[in-house]
A and B are shown apart, each in its own frame.
Chain A
Amino acid sequence: MFEAWLGRMGAPVALLGVVGLIAFFAFPYDLGFLTRILIMMIFVLSIDLVLGYGGIATLGQAAMYGTGAYAAGLFAVHISANPLLGLLIGAGAGAGVAFLSGLIVLRAHGLGLLMLTIAVAQILHEIANKARVVTGGADGLSGIRMAPLFGRWHFDFIGQTGYLYALAVLVLVMVFLRALCVAPLGLTARGIHESPVRMAAIGVPVYGRRVLIYTIAGGLAGLAGALSAQVTALVSLQVFSFSLSAEAVVMLILGGTGRLWGAIFGTAIFMVIHHLAATADPYNWLFVIGILLLGVVYFIPGGLMGVRQRLRILFGGQG
């Protein structure tokens, strides 16, 4: 039974780990950049849970990311530099913010919902900005020195420990999400997405389930934020920015929603192209991403994962 489980769930995720390790050896001088990609993947996965599975259109997931980042950062500075504890704190903080804001935000729909998610992130941004004494304000929170992981592996400047640490967390998050998505809650999320009316008629407390999904996703976003704080040893106000939320959503759409792997591919492709295009000219980058977005929306609604599915249908009959 374990082999079957491993086979179905393990193989693609193991592949992810392997690819990650290959990248580790292939690009030893770009580990900082690659680590940022890994952290972003976790963040975008959290958005896939909310958006792709739960059908909740959000442009404010950065609220939880930022909360996790500051929580983990402050924890490391003032209480304990244990990285794993810091991750737990970050995830918990993200989940907490998601729960509290979700209670309000999820009463709305459509534009109202979107606005509320944006508003929550903006308020947190401002609070972090004003609370200079605690958060460092616009200068950011610095002085985060992480203790060695498991007491053995130090976080060095080259970023080797950081990268492998992030990779391990990413793999674990993927395992967690894949399990969640085939669990009853995953099916419930898809049901709510398909037809909230029908779900209510089945006796599902739709609002409550949505809050639950939003909270779990918030925890994951907080986890990503915490990871970012620990690995980069700095938390800036950017962690709450609207553009972070918006770009993450774009990455998800690019890759395709509701399949988890879309988050992985979309993030990788977006960040690599961004890296290449933005160094040339920031505004050319806007042209590129604008056209990419329009292309995906108008021509490939399923994102790049959708292309794969279309090709399958084209060449293999039933999709």
Chain B
Amino acid sequence: MGMVFNIALDGLSYGMVLFMISVGLSVTLGLMRVINLAHGGFALLGGALMHGLTFQLGWPFALALPVSVLSVTLIALPMEYVFFRPLYGKGDLTQVLATIGLTFLMIAFVNWLYGSALLGIPLPPYLRGTVDLGLRTLPVQRVAVIVTGMVVLGALYGLIERTRFGIWLRASVDNRAAAEALGINTRWVFAATFALGAGLAALGGVLGAELMPIEAYYPLRYLVVILAVVAVGGMGSVWGAWFAALGLGLIDTAARYALPDFGTIFFFAALIVVLALRPQGLSGRAYDV
């Protein structure tokens, strides 16, 4: 029973991290139809920046975190303009290759700064240790990640369902030409969404640093997992990304605990089954594929 609880806890927090990292990719994929394999690079940049601020410059965690996330968000804007605009409408493969090239550059950049070592992010005292919830004591870090994930989900839901921007976003995802005809500035919507997704990835990268250590090869190492979440969840869908992230996070963690020898096989088998039955992902529309 204790093991089940541990699996649930670890699986949930892993899933939340995956969600935060992948949701931006899912939405921008549904929006711009660009397969962006460099998305993990934003998580890396966030983590690397965080490492530099906290570990090297000694900034407090609470200050460094928003600064890191915001910085990545801002860097993403010119990147969208320079690298991704020319890719809209180009074939799958072109996008795959351009973004792989971009990933290589990001990896080489971080390596140039820090070498290939693991970039630890020291946790502040209030995130270490455990919290007593009556029934059990839980690591604070795990709880914080899960809470943050829920907050992000709620905030995204509010953004998409309750704001003007959300309407513009949904319209642009559904039918770009029609949205333009209605006077929505889809270019700006793209750029803003892209930046938001990048920022969320940075947040996820920092919070997930215990499970997914920050180091130069990060974007390639976790590329497959991130893509899996997006593919299974269905592109363009926040809910899809959430369910897929939690589902895959739990399956992966459960497999690691219960069948340590076959963990990865299980993960990919689950992936294949879902995609074989529903190639467009859980929330995807059939004609998107």
Q: Do A and B bind each other?
A: yes
List the A side residues contacting B271 at CB < 8 Å: 115-116, 119
Segment from B66-74, B193-201, B227-235 that makes contact with A: B227-235
Q: Quick check: A107 and B276 within 8 Å, CB to CB?
A: yes
Closest chain B residue to A130 by CB distance?
B261
Closest chain A residue to B95 by CB distance?
A297
Complexed CA–CA distance, A51 and B91 (Å): 12
List the B side residues contacting A116 at CB < 8 Å: 271-272, 275-276
- 1/0 per residue, CB under 8 A from A, across B18-30: the answer is 0000000000010
Complexed CA–CA distance, A109 and B102 (Å): 23
| Contact of B101 (CB < 8 Å), options: A107, A127, A294, A301 | A294
Residues A123 and B268 in contact in the complex (CB < 8 Å), given A286-B104, A286-B111: yes
Number of contacting residues on B, CB 8 A?
45
| Contact of B262 (CB < 8 Å), options: A109, A120, A130 | A130
Taking CB atoms and an 8 Å cut-off, the chain A residues in 265-306 that contact chain B are 283-284, 286-287, 289-294, 296-298, 301
Taking CB atoms and an 8 Å cut-off, the chain A residues in 157-198 that contact chain B are none
Q: Quick check: B92 and A123 within 8 Å, CB to CB?
A: no
Q: Confirm or deny: A11 has a beta carbon within 8 angstroms of a beta carbon on chain B.
A: no
Q: Confirm or deny: A59 has a beta carbon within 8 angstroms of a beta carbon on chain B.
A: yes
Q: Confirm or deny: B160 has a beta carbon within 8 angstroms of a beta carbon on chain A.
A: no
Closest chain B residue to A52 by CB distance?
B93
Complexed CA–CA distance, A114 and B107 (Å): 22
Q: Confirm or deny: B118 has a beta carbon within 8 angstroms of a beta carbon on chain A.
A: no
Q: Quick check: A283 and B112 within 8 Å, CB to CB?
A: yes
Complexed CA–CA distance, A290 and B102 (Å): 6
Closest chain B residue to A294 by CB distance?
B101
Q: Quick check: B268 and A287 within 8 Å, CB to CB?
A: no
Q: Quick check: B108 and A297 within 8 Å, CB to CB?
A: no
Residues A290 and B265 in contact in the complex (CB < 8 Å), given A57-B93, A115-B271, A119-B272: no
Residues A286 and B102 in contact in the complex (CB < 8 Å), given A107-B279, A109-B279, A115-B227: no
List the A side residues contacting B275 at CB < 8 Å: 108, 112, 115-116, 119
Complexed CA–CA distance, A84 and B251 (Å): 44
Residues A283 and B272 in contact in the complex (CB < 8 Å), given A114-B35, A293-B101: no
Q: Confirm or deny: B216 has a beta carbon within 8 angstroms of a beta carbon on chain A.
A: yes
Q: Confirm or deny: B281 has a beta carbon within 8 angstroms of a beta carbon on chain A.
A: yes
- 1/0 per residue, CB under 8 A from B, across A212-249: the answer is 00000000000000000000000000000011001001
Q: Quick check: A126 and B268 within 8 Å, CB to CB?
A: yes
Q: Quick check: A293 and B104 within 8 Å, CB to CB?
A: yes
Complexed CA–CA distance, A111 and B275 (Å): 10
Q: Confirm or deny: A122 has a beta carbon within 8 angstroms of a beta carbon on chain B.
A: yes
| Contact of B100 (CB < 8 Å), options: A51, A111, A130, A293 | A293
How far is the CB of A274 from the nearest CB of chain B, in Å? 12
Q: Confirm or deny: B86 has a beta carbon within 8 angstroms of a beta carbon on chain A.
A: yes
Complexed CA–CA distance, A115 and B96 (Å): 12
With a 10 A CB-CB cut-off, give which of A59, A127, A291 has the most chain B CB atoms: A59
| Contact of B97 (CB < 8 Å), options: A111, A113, A242, A297 | A297
| Contact of A111 (CB < 8 Å), options: B103, B230, B264, B269 | B230
- 1/0 per residue, CB under 8 A from A, across B93-126: the answer is 1101110111111011001100010000000000
Complexed CA–CA distance, A127 and B280 (Å): 27
Q: Confirm or deny: B57 has a beta carbon within 8 angstroms of a beta carbon on chain A.
A: no
List the A side residues contacting B96 at CB < 8 Å: 57, 59, 114, 249
Residues A242 and B224 in contact in the complex (CB < 8 Å), given A112-B275, A290-B104: yes
Q: Confirm or deny: B289 has a beta carbon within 8 angstroms of a beta carbon on chain A.
A: yes
| Contact of B279 (CB < 8 Å), options: A108, A130, A253 | A108
Q: Quick check: B100 and A250 within 8 Å, CB to CB?
A: yes
Complexed CA–CA distance, A108 and B288 (Å): 10
Q: Quick check: B265 and A111 within 8 Å, CB to CB?
A: no
Closest chain A residue to B227 by CB distance?
A115
List the A side residues contacting B92 at CB < 8 Å: 57, 110-111, 114
Q: Quick check: A111 and B111 within 8 Å, CB to CB?
A: no
Q: Quick check: B265 and A130 within 8 Å, CB to CB?
A: yes
Taking CB atoms and an 8 Å cut-off, the chain B residues in 26-57 that contact chain A are 29, 35
Complexed CA–CA distance, A242 and B224 (Å): 9
How far is the CB of B257 from the nearest CB of chain A, in Å? 17
Q: Quick check: A118 and B227 within 8 Å, CB to CB?
A: yes
How far is the CB of B198 from the nearest CB of chain A, in Å? 19
Complexed CA–CA distance, A14 and B93 (Å): 32
Q: Quick check: A294 and B102 within 8 Å, CB to CB?
A: yes
How far is the CB of B145 from the nearest CB of chain A, in Å? 25
List the B side residues contacting A15 at CB < 8 Å: none
Can you add 10 more A-B contacts, CB < 8 Å, to A114-B96, A130-B261, A283-B108?
Answer: A51-B93, A111-B29, A113-B279, A115-B228, A116-B271, A120-B268, A283-B112, A290-B102, A297-B97, A297-B98
Residues in B lying within 8 Å of A, measured CB to CB: 29, 35, 83, 86, 91-94, 96-98, 100-105, 107-108, 111-112, 116, 216, 220, 223-224, 227-228, 230-231, 235, 261-262, 264-265, 268-269, 271-272, 275-276, 279-281, 289
Q: Which 9 A-B pairs have the closest CB atoms?
A: A293-B101, A290-B104, A108-B279, A290-B105, A115-B231, A286-B108, A297-B98, A283-B111, A294-B101
Q: What are 5 contact pairs spanning A and B, CB under 8 A?
A: A104-B272, A112-B280, A123-B272, A249-B96, A290-B103
